[in-house]
Amino acid sequence: MTTAKPALLQLLPLTVPYSPERLAKHFELIELWKAPDAQAVIASRKNDIVALVTSAMTPTRAELIDALPNLKAICSQGVGYDAIDVKHAQSKGIQVSNTPDVLNDCVADLAFGLLLATARKLGHAERYVRANQWGNGAAFPLGTKVSHKKVGIVGLGRIGMAIAQRAAGFDMDIRYHNRRARSDVPYGYEASLTDLASWADFLIIATVGGDATRRLINAEVLKALGPDGAIINIARGSVIDEAALVSALASGELGGAGLDVYEAEPTVPDALKTMDNVVIVPHIASATNETRKAMADLVLDNVDAFATTGKVITPVPAL
Ligand code: 8YV
């Protein structure tokens, strides 16, 4: 007699075609997005579910975790875990894994792409040409030089370090702000976020999301960055006070912004859509074929490892 496989609750499809086959190797798959009544499925199968697949942008809250009494592992696609109630999961002995490192290059590439696009007004320039304004009226406005300028990195973790490498390639002066100084980097530490913003020409936000960094970048920091400064955010929209950002940009108190993330995605403040000193893109930092495959593969590897050894490979830090 074959014993029934334990069940895995999958909240969203993974971005590789072979995901169902890999996941079904160890588990009976419950693909929640296909269920006509998700709550009914969870209620009827709650005792069978030992693993859950989710993502950095799929809320995985205590209510769902508590509805699954035998849940032992949550495997998430994405490096951020602020959408998952990790503290609650860990308090119940549930392992939580994310997909760090495999996306560092793409996220850092986009951070620098946004910096260049914001400083050199690439979005505005595109619209200028497409609107047949070239040669038909006002000359296109001058931008801001990037090479040899000063960049402040808020959150010098693995992605922040990849951003610093790119900044070094542009001969930039690099300083950073963390909760604590690092002893293993050649960059200057700034204990005060406002002082870092006052010093910097560009401020790049690369922190984790969640309560610890919520609105860390406030009106005071934005004012310190100033009318010649620009802010780049590839972290989480929650890290910047978005109303203060819109106000500082509109008043000219802040020179520009390059944004990949927003407080209430996919909603983006309408005011940002009309500003020529703002570059806005739809949370695409890790959205390349190569990186999303690598992230999905790491989720599958975490699930395999949990099934065969009882331990995920890349657990999020204990909170
Ligand atoms: C995507 C991200 O939103 O990894 C993260 O934390 O924010 C982005 O990579 C995520 O990967 C969605 O799957």
Whole-number mean pLDDT of the chain?
A: 97
- The amino acid at residue 288 is T
What totals of helices (H) and strands (E) does the chain contain, helices first?
12, 12
Q: Whose CA is nearest to atom 11 of ligand 1?
A: 78
Residue that is written with structure tokens 């419950």 in the block: 30
Rounded distance, CA 317 to CA 183, Å?
20
The two tokens of residue 127 are 């619209």
Query: For the segment 26-58, what is each residue's pLDDT rounded down to a tens digit?
Result: 999 999 999 999 999 999 999 999 999 999 999
Cβ–Cβ under 8 Å, residues 72 and 48: no
Cβ–Cβ under 8 Å, residues 97 and 309: no
Buried (b) or exposed (e) across 294-316, using 16+ Cβ within 10 A?
bbbbbbbbbbbbbbeeeebebeb
Average pLDDT over residues 137-165: 97
- Best mutation site among 19, 57, 205 for ligand 1 pocket (most ligand atoms within 8 Å of CB): 57
Q: Whose CA is nearest to atom 1 of ligand 1?
A: 78
> Residue 18 burial (CB < 10 Å; 0-12/13-18/19+)?
exposed
DSSP three-state, residue 29 = strand
Q: Which percentage of the chain shows pLDDT scores above 90?
A: 97
User: What was the pLDDT predicted at 3?
Assistant: 66
User: What was the pLDDT predicted at 266?
Assistant: 98
Whether the CB of 286 sits within 6 Å of ligand 1? yes
Rounded distance, CA 149 to CA 256, Å?
15
How many Cα atoms occupy the beta-carbon half-sphere of 269 within 13 Å? 19
- The length of the chain is 319
Buried (b) or exposed (e) across 248-277, using 16+ Cβ within 10 A?
bbeeebbbbbbbbbbbeeeebbeebeebeb
User: What was the pLDDT predicted at 159?
Assistant: 98
Q: Which residue has the higher pLDDT, 80 or 137?
A: 80
- Best mutation site among 33, 55, 104 for ligand 1 pocket (most ligand atoms within 8 Å of CB): 55
DSSP string covering 44-109: HHTTTEEEEEEETTS-B-HHHHHT-TT--EEEEESS--TTB-HHHHHHTT-EEE---STTHHHHHH
User: What was the pLDDT predicted at 319?
Assistant: 83
For the chain, the structural domain boundaries read 7-102+290-309, 104-280
Average pLDDT over residues 236-260: 98
Give, in order, the Cα–Cα distances in Å from 310 to each of 46, 47, 116: 20, 18, 45
User: What was the pLDDT predicted at 4?
Assistant: 79
The question of whether 263 is a catalytic residue gets the answer no
The two tokens of residue 279 are 């570059």
Residue 106 has pLDDT above 80, yes or no: yes
Residue 1 has pLDDT above 90, yes or no: no
Partners of 96 in beta bridges = 74
User: What was the pLDDT predicted at 239?
Assistant: 98
Query: For the segment 155-169, what is each residue's pLDDT rounded down to a tens digit?
Result: 999 999 999 999 999
For the domain spanning 104-280, the CATH number is: 3.40.50.720
Q: Among the options 236, 242, 263, 292, which is catalytic?
A: 236
Task: Report the nearest atom of ligand 1 relative to the CA of 236.
Answer: 7
User: How crowded is residue 171: how many other Cβ atoms within 10 Å of its Cβ?
Assistant: 10
User: What was the pLDDT predicted at 73?
Assistant: 98
User: What was the pLDDT predicted at 2?
Assistant: 56
Cis bond leading into 266, ω under 30°? yes
Second CATH level (architecture) for the domain 7-102+290-309 = 3-Layer(aba) Sandwich (3.40)
User: What was the pLDDT predicted at 270?
Assistant: 98
Fold agreement (7-102+290-309, 104-280): yes
Q: CB neighbours of 232 closer than 8 A, spacing ≥ 6?
A: 111, 114, 115, 118, 202, 203, 204, 205, 257, 258, 259
